[in-house]
Structure 1
Amino acid sequence: MGTSILPALGQQSPADPSDKFASEVIRRLDQAIAERRVWNIHGLVVVRNDNLLVERYFEGQDHKRGVGDIGIVKFDPNTLHDLRSCSKSIVALLYGIALQLGKVPAPEVSLISAFPEYDLVNEQRSPITIHHALSMTMGTDWDETSLPYEDARNSEIAMDNAPDRYRYILERPVIDTPGMHWTYCGGAAALLARLISKGSGKSLHEFAREFLFEPLGMGPTEWAATPDGEPIAASGARMSVRDLAKIGTLMLHGGRRDDRQIVPAEWIRRCTTPIVSCDEMRRYGYQWFLLDVAFGKPKGWAVGRLERMWMAQGEGGQRLYIVPALQLIIALTSGNYGTDDQGIPPTRILREVVLASVS
């Protein structure tokens, strides 16, 4: 048996190495590193059935959002790490909390009407709702995938450089029917965070600390901001990999910790219900990726067992994988920023290291 990550969700130690699953994960991980099938991994936490089973840390080059290269870091359980776009999934949880508190409009409300200070209501924009921002289906002109983030034409960089980032997002031309197609959009998370701050009177990080991070028993956290003080909502969260795993535990427990409902259970369901396809494999809920994963020994043409997985995904190889049917959480931080092959190590750790160890 491993050390329980509930109810305290505090400072745990990894499982006894005699645990069969944990031992197999560690063996496969060490082999994958030795064979260079995974690289630049900074931290890995594996939780199953609320037990912390595997916890490994490494040393490597790291970057900090808004700062840049911070050199070689020796990672440990308390080291803060950029989550990059995993931040979007946390913003969605915060929106659900704020909605329950009556601080933000419901998903069905017109997005433009929630920002009356910009006076942008027109026939094209009026159909766009907050639901469309939550599901990245606003139908507006936005491109942050075909251009590198170093390119000023990238929509997220253009947003960061705009005199008013929220006006920039809201004024983007409507080029598709809202709700029809998914377009990856950091601007959507920025708008959601702005509504949280407007409604609560708190900064995004202050709200997160009070209503999510502290109730989960998290240690220190940060949320990067622009020079003018606006939160980098889409990619600015920083926390330890242990604390990232606590987000996964919260999700598996329907938003509860002990006897406290931190995020409404119905909101967890909405976040993890497929709304739109991203590509051939991934679907999208409210700022969470959803996909099926296969594992187990195949028989004949069969691929083995197939189960739904929830995923928060961040640039550089940051991942939070949650497989509800297995009560399994994999929290991973990495340093493969800006590389074309950055998705390979997390995928191999998921499939070849962890899921391959499930008996």
Structure 2
Amino acid sequence: MSVSAPLEHLGTDPGQTFPAEAWKQVDNPQEHGLSAEIRAKVDAALEALPTTSFTAVAGGEILYSYGDISEVSYLASTRKSILSMLMGKAVAEGKIDLDLTMADLGIDEDHGLLPIEKTATLRDLLISSSGVYHQPGSPGSNTKNIPERGSKTPGAYFHYNNWDFNVLGAAFEQLTGRSVFKAFEEDFAVPMQMQDFDPARQRMMGYDGASRYLAYHFFLSGRDMARLGLAMVRNGRWDKSQVVPADWVEESTKIRVSADKMNESKKSRIAGYSYLWWIPVVRDETPEWRGACIAAGHFGQFILCLPALDMVFVNRRAIPDDLAIARNDGSFKEELPAVTMEDFLAVTDHFIRAKMAAR
């Protein structure tokens, strides 16, 4: 296929490969540009990072893996993009109206929300722009330059705030009648034949007494995270099933908050934020990034979805369960070596350049 082909339409062929109970390996990695030289560069790059596993998927098969991709561990904020995926079906079925406000839903806190805060909608929360600056019930927010309570109009100002994300989980459960974890099991884990998913491992976590709304935390393996990424790359399709509405995949990955409106400047490769997904920069000379989205979690938990190339990349920096729990209840505050967004994207660039050169 020539480089001038419409990249945005790749990855939508209904005859494409999906993994069954186990992933298949790519038969000929060289067809995707993965030479011995590129493999050696990637190996060296990952060895220099605290990465514990890395997965590259091309055409629905594993192109490259590093470490133990079956190891199950804490996803941190990658959970937020998973909730976005889950919401698509409920929105399409009319169970969730994104224009519902906190007042409509009866969302409140022990010491009360301000009247202006109660006007925030679910859509505002999805783009982390609720204008609610109540203390969140779990770590992971931007703790710098937090606006004063009531100082921002809901929907008008981006501040990465776990209060928004945790309340979205509570609203999902209230409106659908299913827990986030049960919905994940029924809508994703079972139809996608996830190899390592354990319902008992998933849990709510957070601080005591900070907020009524705690965080819904997932514990998944790298190869199961790659299944989620593949569903996004394939417009929400999994084999013959539409596990996420195609319209929602498109809507949830459009830039809603541009980079110049975000106070997250450290993510220099990011063009904006959508419905709980980070959206990478796309330039005229990089059409392969068109339609891409990233799920990002603390310590180095990443999923990059590249629909234009039908590729998925997953990085894990495994965190033991006891440490994840301690971090979320506030008893452990020490920072561990982490893989940054830039570190992760620098590794994926090796594969992307090789893939484009092989076309």
User: Residue 34 and residue 255 in structure 1: after superposition, are their counterparts in 2 closer, same or farther (change >3 A)?
Assistant: closer
Residue aligning to 1:223: 202
Kindly indicate which of the two structures has a greater share of residues assigned to strand.
1
TM-score for the superposition, normalised by structure 1: 0.73
In structure 2, list runs of 5 or more residues that go unmatched: 1-14, 140-147, 320-334
Q: Which residue of the partner structure matches residue 155 of structure 2?
A: 179
Residue 306 of structure 2 corresponds to which residue in structure 1? 323
**TM-superposed deviation, 1:129:** 0.7
Aligned to 1:10: 21
Q: 1:307 aligns with which of 289, 292, 296?
A: 289
2:122 match: 130
Q: Percent identity of the aligned residues? A: 19
Partner residue in 2 for 1:193:
169
Match of 2:38 in 1: 28
Question: Distance in 2 between the 1:257 and 1:195 partners?
Answer: 26
Q: Equivalent residue for 1:96?
A: 88
Structure-2 residue corresponding to 1:245: 226
1:342 maps to 340
In 2, Cα distance between equivalents of 1:340 and 1:23: 26
Distance change in 2, residues 1:135/1:239 (3 Å): same
Quick one: which amino acid aligns to residue 54 of structure 2? L
Question: How far, CA to CA, are the matches of 1:128 and 1:118 in structure 2?
Answer: 14
Residue 136 of structure 1 deviates from its aligned partner by 0.5
CA distance in 2: counterparts of 1:357 and 1:35, whole angstroms: 15
Is 1:265 the counterpart of 2:246 in the alignment?
yes
Among 21, 30, 44, the residue aligned to 1:19: 30
| SS of alignment partner, residue 282 of structure 1 | strand
Distance 1:317 1:128 in 2: 31
Given that 1:113 and 1:121 are in contact with CA atoms closer than 8 Å, whether structure 2 keeps it comes out as no
Q: Show CA shifts across 1:273-295 (max 9, x none).
A: 1100234633011000101257x
Distance in 2 between residues matched to 1:354 and 1:311, nearest whole Å: 16
Give the conservation status (yes or no) of the 8 Å contact 1:112–1:121.
no
| RMSD (CA atoms) | 3.2
C-alpha change, 1:41 and 1:134, in structure 2 (3 Å) is same
2:117, 2:131 within 8 Å by CA — same for their partners in 1? no
1:23 is displaced (CA, Å) by 3.0
Q: Supply the AA of the counterpart residue of 1:186.
A: N
Amino acid at match of 2:119: P
How far apart in 1 are the matches of 2:159 and 2:17? Answer: 37
Deviation at 1:342, TM superposition (A): 3.5
1:354 aligned partner:
351
Supply the AA of the counterpart residue of 2:299: G
Answer whether contact 2:288 2:308 (CA < 8 A) is retained.
no
Q: State whether structure 2 residue 49 is matched by structure 1 residue 51.
A: no
Aligned counterpart, 1:72: none
Separation in structure 2 between the aligned mates of residue 35 and residue 287 of structure 1, nearest angstrom: 28
2:293 and 2:29 map into 1 onto residues whose CA distance is 29
2:71 alignment partner, one of 79, 91, 94:
79
For residues 325-354 of structure 1, what are the alpha-carbon distances to aligned partners after superposition, in whole Å with 9 as ceiling and x for unaligned?
A: 212211111259644763443122122x22
Deviation at 1:42, TM superposition (A): 1.5
Identify the match of residue 113 of structure 1 among 104, 127, 131. Answer: 104
Deviation at residue 191 of structure 1 after TM alignment: 0.9
Aligned equivalent of 1:213: 189
Cα drift, residue 305 of structure 1 = 5.3
The code of the aligned residue for 2:49 comes to W
Is the 1:275–1:283 contact (alpha carbons within 8 Å) kept by the matching residues of 2? yes
Deviates more, 1:319-328 or 1:113-122: 113-122
Q: State the distance in 1 between where 2:338 and 2:65 align.
A: 27
Provide closer, same or farther for how the CA distance between residues 118 and 185 of structure 1 changes in structure 2, counting only shifts above 3 A. Answer: closer
The residue identity in structure 2 corresponding to 1:225 is M
Letter in 2 for 1:82: Y
* Cα 1:102–1:52 shift into 2, 3 Å: same
Gaps of 5+ in 1: 58-74, 143-154, 162-171, 295-301
Size of the aligned set, in residue pairs, is: 302
| Structure 1 residue identity aligned to 2:101 | S
In the alignment, the residues of structure 2 paired with residue 18 and residue 202 of structure 1 have an alpha-carbon distance, to the nearest angstrom, of 42
1:42 matched residue in structure 2: 52
Indicate whether 1:289 and 2:278 are aligned. yes
**Which whole-Å CA distance do the structure 2 matches of 1:310 and 1:86 have between them?**
12
The Cα of 1:201 is off from its aligned counterpart by: 3.3
Q: Is the 8 A contact 1:292 1:306 kept in 2?
A: no
Which structure is richer in relative contact order (CA contacts within 8 A, separation 6 or more)?
Answer: 2
Sort the Cα spacing of 1:213 and 1:287 in 2 relative to 1 into closer, same or farther, 3 A: same
Which secondary structure does the structure 2 equivalent of 1:41 belong to? coil
